[in-house]
Structure 1
Amino acid sequence: MGETAQSVWVKCLSFIQDNITPQAYKTWFEPIKAVKLTDNALSIQVPSKFFYEWLEEHYVKLLKVSLTRELGDNAKLVYVIRMENTYGNKQPFTEKIPSSQRTRISSQDIDSPLRNKSPELKNPFIIPGIRNVKIDSQLNPNYSFDNFLEGDSNRLARNAGMAVSNKPGGTSFNPLLVFGGVGLGKTHLAHSIGVEVKDKYPEKTVLYISAEKFTQQYIESVKKNNRNDFIHFYQIIDVLIVDDIQLLSGKAGTQDVFFHIFNHLHQNGKQVILTSDKAPVDMQDIEQRLLSRFKWGLSAELQHPDFETRVSIIKNKLYRDGVEMPEDIVEFLANNIKTNIRELEGAIISLIAHSSFNKKNITIELAKKIVQNYVKHTKKEVSIEYIQKVVSDYFQMDVETLQSKTRKRHIVQARQLAMFFAKKLTKASLASIGTQIGKRDHATVLHACKTVNNLSTTDKQFKKFVEDLDKKLTL
């Protein structure tokens, strides 16, 4: 037939170009490269996972029709996600099969080291304690050091992460605890360390897991009476990454089992990496013996990125997604979304999407509209400490009075309101809320929430308290 990947793709593009707007074509099809043609399978290279997902969601039918015209009914399409970068020759990549074609592409069509990646965590109880069992690391290859940009706000954490990935278990950063607010890159950094370890030491067993999933697995193991198998499974891991460790708060059984696993791994020179939304000193309802172990290694904070770092993050994101944006708009975004990198990236995606859908150029007016919507719809994370201060100020008392044992009605009501808003606006457990608001137990918090709900419907004055405080806390 004499066809090459390039010649087939040129014909497909000619058909596609006739069926979509020039701007959509420029944004979503020009950056694609045809890389391989094997029988009826065409491999195309796209610059990012977001790009691949966008094509799948919006242009999958168009791609299918164009490909079938060129290669017949058995046409297959394989995506290669390759992030070009300016950080040396490393080019992390994975290959994706579009959902519409998935059943028709055999495994040998895909020449990818990440073929076994599964979104589901494999059951850890199948072959307990056997060293050569293949464990899916649960890592996201799109999170790498290459796209985790360094700035003053993250330098210590990033450099410590790189040191750990060069020598897992062999540095004094064990455990490495990365902590900081929402959307500052804790999960990204944790995955980056794992991805780098797998790259340098393919024989090492790496596992990324959320503390929530770990707890679910533990509860399941107790139900099935195989707690020991659960422990054995985790003891064979070389690099264990646990995300959101603060979620073990108040869960005594899970903390106990994690304590034993942690000790075994640490004593055997294995690496433990933890992330948390707060420093160890601020963690509530975590056993002292566990907290002391969290402090053995290094606790590194991720802070809010400065202006220069935010500009770099935006430019890097645009570069990876193959989109150009005027400098003044980049600076406008960086100036207006300051506290959360996830929001920053979300605003960029919204801007690209609006521009593409509405066939409009990216202008400063459009950017203002997006930022306004974005910031308006983003709920601010508040701490229990802050809630207590706002409630105390509102009722003109100090926090000590709010937390005191007194049964005076107006103080009891203020305390109950603080508990109600702590449950509503934070992810803390009832036990944790009780501990922080005057050392009460979880039953007291539950009772407080019910009382507030009841009074809100029967007492007009009390309803006003709730509405006023809600405005103050969610503004």
Structure 2
Amino acid sequence: MNNSAELVWSKCLTIIKDIVEWQHFKTWFEPIKPVELKGDVLLIQVPSQFFFEYLEENYVPLLANTLKRELGKNAKLEYRIIVDSGNKGKSGSMDIPAGPVKHYTNNEVNFPLVINNPVKNPFVIPGLKKMQIDPQLNPIYNFDTFLESDCNRVARRAGKTVAEKPGANSFNPLVIYGGVGLGKTHVAQAIGNEVKKMHPNKVVLYVSSEKFINQFQDHSRNNAINDFIHFYQLIDVLIIDDVQFFARAEKSQDAFFAIFNHLHQSGKQLVLTSDKAPKDLDGLQERLLSRFRWGLSADLMVPDYEARIEILKQKMYNDGLEMPQDVINYVAYNINTNVRELEGALISLLAQSSLNKREIDLELAKKVLRNFVKTSTKELTIDAIQKLVCEYFNVPYDRLLEKTRKREIVQARQISMYLAKTFTKNSLKNIGEHFGGRDHTTVIHSCQTVKDLMDTDSIFRENVVELTQKVQLAAI
């Protein structure tokens, strides 16, 4: 390597380091290698086509002024771009072939920048113009159709915050996780649709992890991995659905790692969904998992009885439908797995009513729900719930009814009341009588306390969720 080129570039870096932020300096200037100095022309090598384009867009004036200080007013900068050879992961460098030259003039310093072929769009839109990228969003997924409740409040509100200020918030990345049919895709796409509405110039893209993996494999076969990575690095808000499927694709994880780093460092927003919390994901690289934990992980839980009723009512309102309250209660009580099955039961009920020209009543609901409930559910009693909770916390049954302020007894009693209200049809007064003759206001206070603690205490929430599942199993 020409020592003069190395010396000139070293002096340039000394100046640049005092001007740009440290992280930007590490990202955009340290990787540059001086190659050759011929008179007033400095040849530098950059890692990729995207890297070159980013410098061209953001740092031409700074480079021009800096090089002018070192080489004089006739200074010129030329680029060599590393091109992936696609051969067993090796890479080599080549000078970009001669072609049309773009000149930037700043204080009499010209920068001839040779433009390579445009990056290919994996979503099959010819050329690469940012506003031509199809966000791959379904407009039916929005925040208006996603009812907020205790089971999803954190995820929904975090999603709204991200949509309002994408990339400029502390929830980056935002990881939304939960079981099947609880609304992960709905929230993720709602964020994308809200961003497009509030920030129309932002480039948004929603893609499933499976599609991402398939695209990567196609580009790998065509020796175009750089094009693939560079395309994704142009996105302002990237939404990846079901990241748990990256577990079977090691090389795709490497590509996503590069994309994640670039977007995060550039102040772009990442939204990820998963069936588990990042700490519980198996088969993903630790360096990826650590980055998933940089932002906020928000879970979606199974909606409780009251939330299921409200979901059904909203769905009916949106579709202009009516249904007797006792039927709504019956459906909400018996379909307690996820929102998708709840909506499926409602659609089946409406279809049966329409096809048979029959009014919707409790008898029809029982007939339809046989297809959704594996076995008939038995009526849960307050006593059965109390015994389950006592066994879970290893608390004597009679202590549950005593007037004591001992913390573990109070919490067991409050959770028992909460579950009794959720899973039985008893009145508040009747529930209170089963707990040593307490009144209905005590039951209301206990249920609210349980909901509040679930929002603030993760261990408490896990206990309630596990007990909820035990109660559901007991009803089968």
RMSD: 1.7
TM-score (norm 1): 0.53
Which digits, 9 at most, give the CA deviation of each residue in 1:287-325, with x for residues without a partner?
Answer: 000000000000000011111111110001111111110
d(CA) in 1 for partners of 2:369, 2:200: 43
* SS of residue in 2 equivalent to 1:209: strand
Partner of 1:274, secondary structure, is strand
Bigger Cα Rg: 2
Say yes or no: does 1:295 pair with 2:293.
Answer: yes
Please state how far the C-alpha of 1:229 moved relative to its aligned partner: 0.7
Conserved 8 A contact 1:174-1:272: yes
* Structure 1 residues 249 and 350, CA gap change in structure 2 (3 angstroms): same
User: Would the alpha carbon gap of residues 257 and 127 (structure 1) be closer, same or farther in structure 2, given more than 3 Å must change?
Assistant: farther
Q: What is the distance in 1 between the residues matched to 2:254 and 2:126?
A: 23
1-structure distance, mates of 2:126, 2:254: 23
Cα distance, 1:376 vs. partner?
A: 2.8
Structure 1 residues 247, 330: CA separation in 2 closer, same or farther (over 3 Å shift)?
same
* Whole-Å separation in 2 of the counterparts to 1:161 and 1:131: 27
Contact conserved, 2:131 with 2:201, CA < 8 A, in 1? no
Secondary structure of the residue aligned to 1:198 is helix
Cα shift readout 1:401-430 (whole Å, capped 9, x = no counterpart): xxxxxxxxxxxxxxxxxxxxxxxxxxxxxx
2:276 is matched with 278
Instruction: Provide, for residues 118-164 of structure 1, a one-character-per-residue CA deviation record: whole Å limited to 9, x for no partner.
Output: xxxx7446567x45351111111111100100000101111100000
**Which of 367, 370, 385 is equivalent to 2:365?**
367
Distance 1:186 1:124 in 2: 23
Is the CA contact (8 Å cut-off) linking 1:125 and 1:229 kept in structure 2?
Answer: no
Q: Give the distance between the partners of 1:229 and 1:127, measured in 2 at CA.
A: 14
Structure 2 letter corresponding to 1:144: N
**Aligned pair in 2 of structure 1 residues 155, 228: CA closer, same or farther (>3 Å)?**
same
Aligned mates of 2:126, 2:174 — CA distance in 1: 29
TM-score, length of structure 2 as denominator length: 0.53
What is the alpha-carbon distance in structure 2 between the residues aligned to residue 209 and residue 200 of structure 1? 21
1:375 Cα deviation from its structure 2 partner: 2.5
Residue-by-residue CA offset, 1:72-101 (whole Å, 9 max, x unaligned): xxxxxxxxxxxxxxxxxxxxxxxxxxxxxx
| Equivalent residue in structure 2 for 1:304, among 278, 284, 302 | 302
Specify the code of the residue in structure 2 equivalent to 1:322: G
CA separation in 1, counterparts of 2:131 and 2:170? 29
- Kept in 2, the 8 Å contact 1:241–1:272? The answer is yes
> How many angstroms apart in 2 are the aligned matches of 1:361 and 1:161?
40
Alignment-derived partner of residue 400 in structure 1: none
- Select 1:239's aligned residue among 237, 241, 251: 237
1:350 has 2:315 as partner: no
Contact conserved, 2:125 with 2:132, CA < 8 A, in 1? Answer: no
Q: What residue in structure 2 maps to residue 264 of structure 1?
A: 262
Partner SS for 1:318: helix
Give yes or no for the alignment of 1:192 onto 2:211. Answer: no
Q: Secondary structure at the match of 2:186?
A: helix
SS class of match (2:372):
helix
Matched residue SS, 1:373: coil
In the alignment, the residues of structure 1 paired with residue 289 and residue 211 of structure 2 have an alpha-carbon distance, to the nearest angstrom, of: 20
- Distance, in Å, in 2 between the alignment partners of 1:123 and 1:290 is 23
Give the corresponding residue for 1:183: 181
Distance in 2 separating the partners of 1:124 and 1:353: 37
Distance 2:373 2:228 in 1: 43
> Which residue in 1 is equivalent to 2:161?
163
Listed as ranges, the matches of 1:44-443 within 5 Å are: 123-124=122-123, 130-376=128-374
The whole-number CA distance in structure 2 between the counterparts of 1:124 and 1:323 is 38
CA contact (8 A) 2:122 2:228 kept: no
**Whole-Å separation in 2 of the counterparts to 1:254 and 1:148:** 32
Letter in 1 for 2:350: I
After superposition, give the CA deviation of every residue in 1:382-414 in whole Å (9 maximum; x if it has no partner). Answer: xxxxxxxxxxxxxxxxxxxxxxxxxxxxxxxxx
Contact kept, 8 Å, 1:244 with 1:276, in 2: the verdict is yes
Q: Deviations over 1:4-55 (max 9, x none)?
A: xxxxxxxxxxxxxxxxxxxxxxxxxxxxxxxxxxxxxxxxxxxxxxxxxxxx
Q: Counterpart amino acid of 1:298?
A: L
Q: How does 1:457-468 map to 2 (within 5 A)?
A: none
Amino acid at match of 2:178: G
Following superposition, the deviation at residue 250 of structure 1 comes to 2.7
Q: SS where residue 299 of structure 1 aligns?
A: strand
The structure showing larger relative contact order (alpha-carbon pairs under 8 Å, at least 6 residues apart) is 1
- The one-letter code sitting in structure 1 at the alignment partner of 2:156 is R
Q: Distance in 1 between matches of 2:225 and 2:124?
A: 10
Secondary structure, counterpart of 1:161 in structure 2 = helix
* 1:164/1:173 contact within 8 Å kept: yes
The C-alpha deviation readout for 1:46-69, integer Å capped at 9, x for no partner, is xxxxxxxxxxxxxxxxxxxxxxxx
CA contact (8 A) 1:131 1:236 kept: no
Question: Is the Cα–Cα contact under 8 Å of residues 311 and 334 in structure 1 kept in the other structure?
Answer: yes
Percent of aligned positions with the same letter in both sequences? 57
Tell me the equivalent position of 2:85.
none
How many Å separate the matches in 1 of 2:322 and 2:124? 48
**Distance in 2 separating the partners of 1:196 and 1:289:** 30
Distance in 1 between residues matched to 2:295 and 2:227, nearest whole Å: 28
CA contact (8 A) 1:124 1:230 kept: no
Q: Could you tell me whether the CA contact under 8 Å between 1:355 and 1:361 is conserved in 2?
A: yes
Q: CA deviation at 1:281?
A: 0.9
Cα distance change on mapping 1:125 and 1:329 into 2, 3 Å = closer
For 1:16-55, what aligned pairs fall within 5 Å after superposition? none
Question: Secondary structure at the residue paired with 2:229?
Answer: helix
Residues 317, 264 of structure 1: CA spacing in aligned structure 2 closer, same or farther, 3 A cutoff? same
Structure 1 unaligned blocks of 5 or more: 1-121, 378-471
Structure 1 segments, 4+ long, off by >2 Å, are: 122-128, 130-133
